[in-house]
């Protein structure tokens, strides 16, 4: 249980998906509150779900920020454009709409899921995906032309596919290093993560747990690449953010991670060759330098980097349970 606290922390988060008072805060239970983008922002901000930041700095969000004080927030979403004076969409308008109707089902049109993967990229022409894209065209067409809407969605898909592709290339560089046993400390100081988690290179758990040389620097980098940068890039494109979130915080971060991973690949392989060369020059030292330095290095790191349990995060779970009281 104790080792699962990160997961529990996330659970706390996601239970809010199933309660009304996450968005309609209790006591007031306000529809106006729930109609404003800042309500979504409480969860949908930050590294792998920065939809709020993308929206605010898009043209949609700019109009909301500069003109939203004149909109009638008492208007229902179905009336908001015509009667509410809403001249740019909110999170709620686009995500609650489906074929002209508004509901609380906010994932009805989701195509790329939370994280774009090669499997999704390879199946975009499947009717399941095509139908959802058509539904999006309908949503955008509330304000834009059909051809503009379609072109934007097509181009967004191309951008997301680029993000998937560069991430997969880096994944194969990392997996090769891992399989060759070349990560720093991999053979001498790599504790396993708490069960039921299994050791893996660049896995999600490495963003929240560490001990000894697990994860290595290049693995944390890759975990950030697929879990943060790839997703940020996708969500910026999906929310029509023309600037930083697409380019600098999205694509350029993918470039940085790819560069760092290739740089590490070159360095770690060169270090392996130097160790091999030293062994050839001094063959009497059986076992090689890597093993040779084990006791030395282990003595250095004994008692150090110890079980970095995410004890604190567990509080959120506890908090969640107590909230009911």
Specify the residue, 102 or 204, whose C-beta has the smaller distance to its own copies.
204
> What six digits make up the tokens of 304?
């150090």
Query: Rounded to 5 degrees, what are φ and ψ at 214?
Result: -115, 110
**By CB under 8 A, what part of segment 133-192 binds its own copies?**
145, 147-148, 151-152, 154-156, 158-163, 165-166, 169-170, 172-173, 176, 184-185, 188-189
Q: 108 or 150: whose CB is closer to its own copies?
A: 150
Looking at residue 101, the DSSP 8-state letter turns out to be E
User: Which lies closer to its own copies via its Cβ, residue 101 or residue 285?
Assistant: 285
Stated as kind and residue range, the H or E segment containing 190 is: none
Show the site string, 74-103: x = touches its own copies by CB under 8 A, - = not: -------------xx---------------
Applying CB under 8 A, the span of 106-114, 118-126, 134-142, 276-284 interacting with its own copies comes to 276-284
Q: Is 122 in the site for its own copies (CB under 8 A)?
A: no
Q: Does 318 bind its own copies (CB under 8 A)?
A: yes
Question: Taking the complex as a whole, how short is the minimal distance between the CB of residue 317 and its own copies, in angstroms?
Answer: 9
Secondary structure of residue 289 in the 3-state scheme: helix
What is the C-alpha separation between 221 and 230, in angstroms, rounded?
Answer: 12
Q: CA angle, corner 128, sides to 122 and 134, nearest 5?
A: 105
> Taking contact as CB under 8 A, which single stretch among the options 105-113, 117-125, 131-139, 262-270 is the one that binds its own copies?
262-270
Give the one residue of 3, 11, 30, 141 binding its own copies; rule: CB under 8 A.
30
Q: Is 46 in the site for its own copies (CB under 8 A)?
A: yes
Asked if residue 39 binds its own copies (CB under 8 A), the reply is yes
Site for its own copies in 186-215 (CB under 8 A): 188-189, 206-210, 212-213, 215
Among 2, 15, 42, 131, binds its own copies (CB under 8 A): 42
Is there a contact between 292 and 285 (Cβ–Cβ < 8 Å)? yes
């Amino acid at each position: 249980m104790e080792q699962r606290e990160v997961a529990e922390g996330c659970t706390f988060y996601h239970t809010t998906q199933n309660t009304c008072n996450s968005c309609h805060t209790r006591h007031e239970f306000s529809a106006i509150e729930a109609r404003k983008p800042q309500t979504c922002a409480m969860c949908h901000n930050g590294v792998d779900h920065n939809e709020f930041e993308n929206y605010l700095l898009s043209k949609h969000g700019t109009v909301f920020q500069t003109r939203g004080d004149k909109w009638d927030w008492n208007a229902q979403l179905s009336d908001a454009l015509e009667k509410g004076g809403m001249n740019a969409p909110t999170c709620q308008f686009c995500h609650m709409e489906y074929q002209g109707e508004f509901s609380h089902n906010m994932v009805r049109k989701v195509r790329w899921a939370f994280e774009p993967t090669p499997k999704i990229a390879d199946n975009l022409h499947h009717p399941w995906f095509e139908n959802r894209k058509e539904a999006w065209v309908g949503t955008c067409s509330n304000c834009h032309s059909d051809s503009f809407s379609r072109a934007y969605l097509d181009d967004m898909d191309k951008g997301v596919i680029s993000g998937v592709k560069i991430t997969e290339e880096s994944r194969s560089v990392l997996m090769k290093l891992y399989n060759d046993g070349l990560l720093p400390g991999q053979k001498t100081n790599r504790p396993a993560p708490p069960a039921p988690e299994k050791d893996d290179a660049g896995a999600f758990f490495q963003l929240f747990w560490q001990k000894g040389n697990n994860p290595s620097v290049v693995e944390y980098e890759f975990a950030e690449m697929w879990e943060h940068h790839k997703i940020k890039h996708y969500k910026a494109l999906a929310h029509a953010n023309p600037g930083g979130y697409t380019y600098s915080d999205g694509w350029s971060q993918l470039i940085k991670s790819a560069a760092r991973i290739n740089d590490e690949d070159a360095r770690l392989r060169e270090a392996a060759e130097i160790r091999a060369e030293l062994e050839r020059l001094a063959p009497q030292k059986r076992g090689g330098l890597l093993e040779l330095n084990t006791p030395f290095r282990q003595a250095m790191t004994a008692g150090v980097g110890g079980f970095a349990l995410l004890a604190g995060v567990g509080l959120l779970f506890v908090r969640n349970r107590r909230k009911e009281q």
